[in-house]
Chain A
Amino acid sequence: MFGYEFYVDPSRCIGCQSCVNACAECETHRGTPMIHVDFLDRANTIATVPFVCMHCDDPTCAKVCPADAIKKTEDGIVQSSLKPRCIACSNCVLACPFGIPKMMTELEQMMKCDMCYDRTSEGKRPMCATVCPSQALAYVPREQLERMRREKPTNVFLFGKQRVTTRVFMMLPPELDALAVDVVDYMWEDSHEIASTR
């Protein structure tokens, strides 16, 4: 669908897991959801955040793949690994700044969200966006989104020195231009913190 973009708004996520179950119903990966719904800080809050593949303009997962198995199609979708090529080395799983790729050990293949390529390439909305009750996952035209939301969509993410631009947008507070993610913050380096979160 021309003009339709994917918008993720963590502040609207209610953690209902609808997207997870809708994703798992897909015939191409039956029973295995490709979307992540993560708790932000489970000890202190029930806030959750859904993560679909952000479909980076310069995808790190594809760049680190030693087998040339991850490809980006002309419409800007980073596809799951090609089964004949994937050697299940997990390089992409470790390299993706968003933590999207999943290693299917029983298949010996990496699989990830491909924005429901079978649906979106035909002009249908991705499954997760169709079921999300709070529209934390929205696949809408830009004008419609601007009419209905006050948050600002951005597709620029800063991971230390790495600047990642993506196809999928994240809704940010209006005063922010880009989302800087301090990865080290989430690594639980402090042993005291580890103890407290257990």
Chain B
Amino acid sequence: MKLLRRAEPDPLWKDEFSIHTADERYVSRRQFTKFLVLTSLGMFVGNLWILARLAFSKTPVYGEKGICRLGDVPVGGIWLFRYPTERDPCILVRLDENTYVAYSQKCTHLSCAVFYSPEKNRLECPCHEGYFSVRNGDVLQGPPPRPLPRVLLERRGDQIVAVSFEARKES
């Protein structure tokens, strides 16, 4: 069927219900069954492939990266950094004298950048009002489906180093 029809004397139904078998566009029962069988076969194989990938997948290694010195961040202050690559923004929060936490800054809903709200003491995503706990990254409210990925930190002298992401069990 043509999208743009010229002004023809023949009405549209003559084109849609052509008397010629060559112009038929209807799907026979056998074609439909074939389509169903092949599609479900494809879905099955795809699922097998996903399972196989899951079974043989390795836990990713992120490497270490220095973030800042101990005195750089005041209590209740934040420090933005990139980890593990330059395209992954993260946020570090100093909760008290000796407690530092860091999370990926990408909201798990639609990847907006989350920020730290010192008054409410939580991480907030401004796009759809998704709130995360600053203690462990859990979702407090809003549309995000998963907690924020937490960056594991280590202290090397007066240096704070990002070591890895916290491995979370899928619920």
Contact = CB atoms under 8 A, between A and B. Distances in A.
B21 A59 contact: no
B129 interface: no
A74 B20 contact: yes
Contacts of A63: 19
A74 B19 contact: no
A70 B17 CA distance: 11
Interface residues on chain B, size class: under 10
Interface in A46-85: 59, 62-63, 65, 68, 70-74, 79
A72 B17 contact: no
B24 interface: yes
B20 to A, nearest CB: 5
B21 A71 contact: yes
A71 B17 contact: no
B22 interface: yes
A88 to B, nearest CB: 18
A59 B22 CA distance: 15
A77 B24 CA distance: 15
A74 B24 CA distance: 11
Contacts of A72: 19-21
* Residue picked from A62, A65, A68, A73, most chain B C-beta under 10 Å: A68
Interface in B65-97: none
Nearest to A74: B22
A87 to B, nearest CB: 14
Interface string B8-24: 00000000010111101
Contacts of A79: 21
Contacts of A59: 19
B21 A68 contact: no
Contacts of A73: 20-22
Nearest to B29: A84
* Residue picked from B19, B20, B22, most chain A C-beta under 10 Å: B19
A62 B19 contact: yes
Contacts of B17: 68
A155 to B, nearest CB: 19
Nearest to A62: B19
Given A68-B17, A72-B19, A73-B20, 7 more contacts: A62-B19, A63-B19, A65-B19, A68-B19, A72-B20, A72-B21, A79-B21
19 contacts: A59-B19, A62-B19, A63-B19, A65-B19, A68-B17, A68-B19, A70-B19, A71-B19, A71-B20, A71-B24, A72-B19, A72-B21, A73-B20, A73-B21, A73-B22, A74-B20, A74-B21, A74-B22, A79-B21
Interface of B: 17, 19-22, 24
Shortest 3 CB-CB distances between A and B: which pairs?
A62-B19, A68-B17, A71-B21
